[in-house]
């Protein structure tokens, strides 16, 4: 019997867990940190609200589209499966390769960096160690902990995800209501409503802010990777994707406006994660409301929130590598199911190890000063290294993630058009609302965003493209070593 036939994950997750994987994965660090970056780039309340709403609608359009694919092909791996069916094994492999090297492991590393940022608010670095190395150690410890949880069991990881998501949404609800109860929410602080003038610089600032906002929304595809383990996926996959996106938009827009009703625009701008800033916007917000006790409370909330988001990524990401290995496109050991825990343990460990290495490497490049021109290194490399010295770990990592993620999510959404033609007889329990306009708008917005990132954030974008390209020779190595199973993907079952 083939590996493909035997390596099947049990259906142990219900609809609430599927929803919490999305909401709990997405609400990690972004809403506690990103609003300051948005205010820094878009200095008007109307522009700030627009960026968050547009980012949410962009996410909703993607969720409405992937709901069709998740219900039609409820297999482990999510986008890997859809891309493989639509375009062939090469595209599926390149997604999984990029998911491992860039998208998922990079997201885990970024979330861990945010965890460490707030950990340092509670436990400052020892004088002999230094802040960057202290935060790096905390980040790696958090990654290792969620890896252990998800090796022990999918039910264990799912239960943690539900409990943690419930607590973090409840905490955000308290943060939204508390300023009104304390009489410290003032709508007069929502100024200026409009920018002084509409010009190219302002539009450019909105595009830069959009990258940060999309990082805050990143993770909305996570439940599709777990479809093989979700009960009644034909119903529960569309439900979790669409309801999850709507919940996220409501929470993010409301929370952002409440920040601005408590803090002035300059106060929020000063909390952007620029090099040397010790401020974090949620800490400033809670400190204003409750004093030092508020800073301690929000640090605990964000640490818990990012930990649960890390857990969601540790649940979902490894399923793509598991599926690839099952199809003969990744190391065979990654599709082995732990005999006791019934989890893709090797895939979970591999993702966590790479995310830890990303964290250590990024920290080293930030801490180590760039060599001089006499070093003989190419000028572009020296310029990039110098920029890293001026950029905190969190910002370096999320720029690294977003370009690769946007590219493959766009191709995944495009696959809805391809599969309507290529696989017209597949059963589609749910069809994309607003088709073909909804997926078309998502694709056009993705192209605009990626073009802007290539021009204005070339280091992270080109690094992502280079890693994608490096997957080509690896793919050819695999297909020449072992034929890919043509029937590895089945229609919805």
Consecutive 10-residue averages of pLDDT for the chain (493 residues) = 58 90 85 89 92 93 94 92 94 90 80 81 76 84 93 89 92 95 93 75 81 83 88 92 94 96 91 55 90 87 88 89 90 89 91 88 67 69 64 56 83 96 93 94 88 76 80 86 53 44
Distance CA 395, CA 37 (A): 10
List residues bridging with 41 in a β-sheet: none
From the list 153, 50, 95, 134, the residue with the least C-alpha distance to 329 is 95
**Residue whose tokens read 């909390």:** 271
Domain covering 13-481: architecture: Up-down Bundle (1.20)
List residues bridging with 230 in a β-sheet: 13
Structure tokens at 135: 């935060």
Task: Supply angle C-alpha 49, 305, 298, rounded to 5.
Answer: 75
Instruction: Give the domain ranges of the chain.
Output: 13-481
Secondary structure (H, E, C), the chain: CCHHHHCCCCCCECHHHHHHHHHHHHCCCHHHHHHHHHHHHCCCHHHHHHHHHHHHHHHHHHHHHHHHHHHHCCCCCCHHHHHHHHHCHHHHHHHHHHHHHHHHHHHHHHHHHHHHHHHHHHCCCCCCCCHHHHHHHHHHHHHHHHHHHHHHCHHHHHHHHHHHHHHHHHHHHHHHHHHHHCCCCCHHHCCCCCCCCCCHHHHHHHHHHHHHHHHHHCCCCHHHHCHHHECCHHHHHHHHHHHHHHHHHHHHHHHHHHHHHHCCHHHHHCCCCCCCCCCCHHHHHHHHHHCHHHHHHHHHHHHHHHHHHHHHHHHHCHHHHHHHHHCCCCCHHHHCCCCCCCCCHHHHHHHHHHHHHHHHHHHHHHHCCCCCHHHCCCHHHHHHHHHHHCCCHHHHHHHHHHHHHHHHHHHHHHHHHHHHHHCCCCCCCCCCCCCCHHHHHHHHHHHHHHHHHHHHCHHHHHHHHHHHHHHHHHHHHHHHHCCCCCCCCCCCC
- Enumerate residues 6+ apart whose C-beta is below 8 A from 333: 325, 346
Structure tokens at 292: 């030092």
Quote the pTM value.
0.82
- pLDDT for res 487: 47
Residue 69 — left, alpha, or beta (φ > 0 → left; ψ -120 to 50 → alpha)? alpha
């Amino acid at each position: 019997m083939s590996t493909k036939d035997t390596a099947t994950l049990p259906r142990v997750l219900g609809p609430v867990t599927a929803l919490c994987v999305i909401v709990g994965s997405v609400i990690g660090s972004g809403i506690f940190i990103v609003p300051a970056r948005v205010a820094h780039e878009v200095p008007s309340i109307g522009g700030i609200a627009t960026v968050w709403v547009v980012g949410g609608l962009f996410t909703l359009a993607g969720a409405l589209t992937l709901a069709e694919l998740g219900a039609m092909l409820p297999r482990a791996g999510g986008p890997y499966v859809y891309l493989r069916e639509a375009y062939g094994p090469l595209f599926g492999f390149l997604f999984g390769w990029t998911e491992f090297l860039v998208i998922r492991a990079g997201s885990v590393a970024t979330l861990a960096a945010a965890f460490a940022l707030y950990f340092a608010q509670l436990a400052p670095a020892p004088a002999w160690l230094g802040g960057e190395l202290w935060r790096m150690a905390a980040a790696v410890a958090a990654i290792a902990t969620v890896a252990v949880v998800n090796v022990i069991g999918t039910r264990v990881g799912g239960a943690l995800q539900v409990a943690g998501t419930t607590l973090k949404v409840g905490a955000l609800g308290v943060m939204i209501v508390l300023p009104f109860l304390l009489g410290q929410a003032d709508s007069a602080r929502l100024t200026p409503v409009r920018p002084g003038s509409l010009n190219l610089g302002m539009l450019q600032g909105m595009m830069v802010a959009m990258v940060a906002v999309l990082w805050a929304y990143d993770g909305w595809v996570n439940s599709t990777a777990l479809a093989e383990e979700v009960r009644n996926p034909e119903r529960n996959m569309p439900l979790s994707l669409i309801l999850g996106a709507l919940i996220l938009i409501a929470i993010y827009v409301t929370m952002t406006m409440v920040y601005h009703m408590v803090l002035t625009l300059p106060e929020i701008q000063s909390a952007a994660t620029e090099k040397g800033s010790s401020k974090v916007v949620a800490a400033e917000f809670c400190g204003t409301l409750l004093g030092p006790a508020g800073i301690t409370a929000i640090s605990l909330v964000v640490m818990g929130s990012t930990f649960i988001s890390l857990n969601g990524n540790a649940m979902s990401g490894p399923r793509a590598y598991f599926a690839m290995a099952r199809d003969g496109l990744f190391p065979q050991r990654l599709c082995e199911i732990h005999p006791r825990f019934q989890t893709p343990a090797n895939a979970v460990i591999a993702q966590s190890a790479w995310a830890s290495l990303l964290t250590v490497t990024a920290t080293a490049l930030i801490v180590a000063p760039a060599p001089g021109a006499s070093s003989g290194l190419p000028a572009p490399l020296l310029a990039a290294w110098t920029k890293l010295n001026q950029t905190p770990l969190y910002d370096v990592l999320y720029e690294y993630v977003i370009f690769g993620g946007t590219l493959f999510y766009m191709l995944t959404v495009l696959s809805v058009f391809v599969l309507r033609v290529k696989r017209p007889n597949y059963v589609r329990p749910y069809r994309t609302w607003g088709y073909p306009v909804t997926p078309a708008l998502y694709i056009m917005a993705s192209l605009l965003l990626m073009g802007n990132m290539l021009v204005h954030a070339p280091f992270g974008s080109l690094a992502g493209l280079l890693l994608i390209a490096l997957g080509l020779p690896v793919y050819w190595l695999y297909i020449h070593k072992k034929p890919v199973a043509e029937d590895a993907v089945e229609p919805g079952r």
